[in-house]
């Protein structure tokens, strides 16, 4: 019997893996360390640098430059996979918006422009649809597959001010995950989501780092901590887990108090 964590002989596709400090790259590295051949995608050539870094560690890896927010980009991905003879049966949907400053993080409330709304949904929701649609046939043919989608606590669990498109898209990823789980379970394919909270990556904003210090764990999480959950869901040992969303937020979404212990009032005791 294959060990519960062994991914030898599997091929994993990880989207949005261009950042050296991001969740996507951390997941790709961990999946590779478990034996999988890894295919990374990103929108720039830096994804090839990430693939070279994994290869230097002895992981079989390749990078594909493509956008996945429309059908044209998905076609580029499909053609690249076919040309290289790659057949992924593990998919990590990680591609999405990364804010570069506090101003960019806020996309507006419900009065936001239709253009910004459509852009937010395309980048953060449609990318997962197109990537999944591209590779699900491989999983069906193999009678085995793992789809792990990186959502967020923002949308499915909580919400930030002035970011309706992002929240709606991330909540939509959970709905997509549940629908996939129901549709594909009989084919040996599982679909699950991971919902990170405040995570310390190279793109974390100063305001987000401050918020991370207020969670019960007292710190932001790390990309590796999220990647470990992704890797478990992608493993043979998670075969009876499907349609679930696992929150990775240091207890933030269950905490009623935000001030330091001993200094907060209890509800109803003003």
> What pLDDT does 162 receive?
84
Which residue among 25, 129, 138, 166 is the active-site one? 166
> What pLDDT does 3 receive?
76
Is residue 166 part of the annotated active site? The answer reads yes
**Contact predicate 228/175, CB 8 Å:** no
Per-residue pLDDT band at 205 (split at 50, 70, 90): confident
* Residue 204, CB-side half-sphere exposure with 13 Å CA sphere: 23
Rounded Cα gap, residues 186 and 181, in angstroms: 9
* φ, ψ for residue 194, nearest 5 deg: -120, 130
> Could you tell me where the DSSP H helices lie in the chain?
23-33, 46-56, 71-84, 102-105, 114-121, 127-142, 164-184, 206-212, 223-233
> What pLDDT does 261 receive?
52
Residues 103-151: pLDDT tens digits?
444 468 899 899 999 999 999 999 999 999 999 999 999 999 999 999 9
> What pLDDT does 192 receive?
98
> What pLDDT does 1 receive?
60
> What pLDDT does 266 receive?
41
Share the mean pLDDT of the chain: 91
Question: For the chain, which residues make up each domain, given as ranges?
Answer: 11-248
> What pLDDT does 268 receive?
45
- At the second CATH level, the architecture of 11-248 is 3-Layer(aba) Sandwich (3.40)
**Contact predicate 131/235, CB 8 Å:** no
Rounded Cα gap, residues 211 and 200, in angstroms: 11
Start-to-end CA span in the chain (Å) = 59
Asked whether residue 45 carries a pLDDT value surpassing 90, the answer given is yes
> What pLDDT does 204 receive?
87
Angle between helices 127-142 and 164-184 (to 10 degrees): 10
Interval 9-28 mean pLDDT: 97
Residues 53-108: pLDDT tens digits?
999 999 999 999 999 999 999 999 999 999 999 999 999 999 997 554 444 444 68
Residue 160 to residues 118, 146, 157, 165, 270, Cα–Cα distance (Å): 19, 30, 11, 11, 26
């Amino acid at each position: 019997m294959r060990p519960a964590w062994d991914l030898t002989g599997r091929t994993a596709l990880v989207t949005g893996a261009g950042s050296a400090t991001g969740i996507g790259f951390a997941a790709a590295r961990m999946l590779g360390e478990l034996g999988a051949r890894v295919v990374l995608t990103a929108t720039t050539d830096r994804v090839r640098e990430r693939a070279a870094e994994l290869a230097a560690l002895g992981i079989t890896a390749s990078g594909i430059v493509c956008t996945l927010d429309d059908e044209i980009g998905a076609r580029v991905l499909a053609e690249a996979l076919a040309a290289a003879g790659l057949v992924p049966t593990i998919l990590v949907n990680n591609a999405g918006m990364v804010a570069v400053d506090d101003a960019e993080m806020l996309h507006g409330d419900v009065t936001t422009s239709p253009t910004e709304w459509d852009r937010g949904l395309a980048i953060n929701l449609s990318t997962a649809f197109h990537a999944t649609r591209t590779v699900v046939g491989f999983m069906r043919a193999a009678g085995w597959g793992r789809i792990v989608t990186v959502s967020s606590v923002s949308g499915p669990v909580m919400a930030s001010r002035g970011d309706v498109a992002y929240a709606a898209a991330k909540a939509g990823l959970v709905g997509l995950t549940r629908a996939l789980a129901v549709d594909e379970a009989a084919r040996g394919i599982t679909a699950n989501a991971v919902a990170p909270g405040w995570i310390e990556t190279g793109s974390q904003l100063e305001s987000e780092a401050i918020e991370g210090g207020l969670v019960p764990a007292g710190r932001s999480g790390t990309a590796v901590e999220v990647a470990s959950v992704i890797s478990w869901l992608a493993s043979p040992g998670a075969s009876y887990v499907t349609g679930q969303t696992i929150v990775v937020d240091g207890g933030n979404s269950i905490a009623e108090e935000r001030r330091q212990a001993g200094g907060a009032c209890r509800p109803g005791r003003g």
